[in-house]
Amino acid sequence: MSREAVESLLQEKKLMDLPYERILSSMCTYPHEIAIYAHKLFLESNLGDSELFPGTKEMEEKVVRMIGSLLHTENAAGYISTGGTESNIQTIRAIRNRRRKAGMRDMNIIVPQTAHFSFEKVADLLNLEVRQASLDPQLKVDVNAVERLIDSNTIALVGIAGTTEFGQIDPIEELSALACDRDLFLLVDAAFGGFVIPFLETHYEFDFALDGVSAISVDPHKMGLSTLGAGCILFRDPTFLDELVVATPYLSTKQQYSLVGTRSGASAAATYAVLKCLGREGLQEIVHECMRLTSLLICGTKRLGIFPVIEPVMNVVTLKLPEGDVDRVKKAMEERRWRVSLTRSPRALRLVIMPHVDEETIQYFLEDLEDIL
């Protein structure tokens, strides 16, 4: 095919994809303009053989340090993963490998019922039992339930700082105390919340400031406005990275700790660029605007007699609708070109107020919701 023909084919496919403007179901958004610039500039860079790309490697190291410092330790070791799923697999794999070396078998980990479905992949790939702890009425994990599930084969606890469905923060402080007390690894899955919680007006303890937190997963490709394919893994104890190492004898780089081999440096560069460009102040502004719009949305729905399942902690809103209405409202919204999602339990309408949402969008959405109801 000619170049022009391929281009028009691509344009045709692009038109089939939805623009983000009316998408309220996604934890992704348009990357920041500087992220797009950086991504293009480092398109061919491969962190899987990082000695060939020392500039990219340096940016990755700086990102790990910057995110570490945001999360209260500059000495954390880690790398830019492909996203939250790889981060969850790799952090749990590190502790699994360490315990396996010590002779442990039939290991289990304990996650909240609200854990992301990536933990199903963790269970399958790592041959671990993943036990689900029940929640309290505010949809945070019940720490007593976690404690009851611990046995001599438990190697790790997981707390979520920004649950996928409800945007809730588990009681990480209590989980941290429990992890210290029982000598367990604690992973905080802050894939979504890592770039939100530090900038909220309410203060939450959820990061390395707590002694029991062993590892944190944060995704720059969600609220960090980076390009897709940017997660970040951080271990408090750098020796956990050694548990993931394989030798790569014929490469210029002699070892690798990432799950994937060839690994795009573009999303690492994009993340570096956004952090440098926005800094904490810029990120805070974005979070504050998302939270302002979240409040506006909630005020509007309350006026319609629709109340949230929990008062939003971050920019995730879940709305209680009369039994039987949830599917009808979702379908009617989709007919009006909105994209919304549903939670599993309790069943509710779920909206994520990402940076691509503006005040006008909230108003149009509320008008359509009123009309449909």
| Contact status: 83 vs ligand 0PR (CB under 6 A) | yes
Smallest separation (angstroms) from ligand 0PR to the CB of 371: 25
Q: Which of 24, 28, 155, 244 binds ligand 0PR (CB under 6 A)?
A: 28
What is the nearest approach in angstroms of ligand 0PR to the Cβ of residue 230? 9
Q: Which two tokens stand for residue 194?
A: 């890592």
Is residue 27 part of the contact set for ligand 0PR (CB under 6 A)? yes
- The β-bridge relationship of strands 108-112 and 154-160 is parallel
CA distances from 293 to 30, 61, 181 (A): 17, 34, 41
> 109, 191, 333, 366: which one contacts ligand 0PR (CB under 6 A)?
191
Cα separation, 139 vs 327, whole angstroms? 22
Residues 226-245 that bind ligand 0PR (CB under 6 A): 231
Q: Give backbone dihedrals phi and psi of 237, rounded to 5 degrees, phi first.
A: -100, 110
Angstrom CA distances, 204 to 165, 173, 200, 234, 307, stand at: 19, 9, 9, 19, 24
Residue 53 vs 70, nearer CB to ligand 0PR = 70
From candidates 45, 50, 56, 85, binder to ligand 0PR by CB under 6 A: 85
Q: How far is the CB of 303 from ligand 0PR (least distance, A)?
A: 28
Return the residue of 142, 170, 174, 219 that touches ligand 0PR, per CB under 6 A. 219
Binding region for ligand 0PR (CB under 6 A) out of 3-11, 26-34, 262-270, 364-372: 26-34
Identify which range of 7-15, 20-28, 58-66, 293-301 contacts ligand 0PR by CB under 6 A: 20-28
Sign of the CA dihedral 168, 172, 173, 175? positive
Starting at the earlier edge strand, list the strands of the sheet with 341-342: 316-319, 349-352, 341-342
Assess 160 for contact with ligand 0PR (CB under 6 A): yes
- Minimum CB separation of residue 25 from ligand 0PR in Å reads 6
CB 116 → ligand 0PR: shortest distance, Å? 4
Nearest distance in Å: CB 215, ligand 0PR: 13
State both tokens at 107.
Answer: 């290991």
Determine which helix (DSSP H) or strand (DSSP E) holds 157, and give its type and residue range: strand 154-160
Contact between 84 and ligand 0PR per CB under 6 A: yes
Listed in sequence order, the residues at least 6 apart from 47 whose beta carbon sits closer than 8 Å to its beta carbon are 53, 56, 57, 60, 79, 80, 258, 263, 264, 265, 268
Give the residue carrying structure tokens 């396996």: 100
Indicate which single residue of 60, 142, 170, 189 sits in contact with ligand 0PR (rule: CB under 6 A). Answer: 189
Query: Based on CB atoms, which residue is closest to ligand 0PR, 20 or 364?
Result: 20
- Alpha-carbon distance values, 80 to 51, 76, 261, 268 (Å): 16, 13, 13, 6
Q: Using the rule CB under 6 A, give the single segment among 65-73, 188-196, 233-241, 292-300 that binds ligand 0PR.
A: 188-196
Asked if 135 touches ligand 0PR (CB under 6 A), the answer is no
Residue whose CB is nearest to ligand 0PR in the complex, by number? 84
Gap between the Cα atoms of 99 and 342, Å rounded: 38
Where along the sequence are the contacts to ligand 0PR (CB under 6 A)?
26-28, 83-85, 88, 116, 118, 160, 164, 189, 191-192, 219, 231
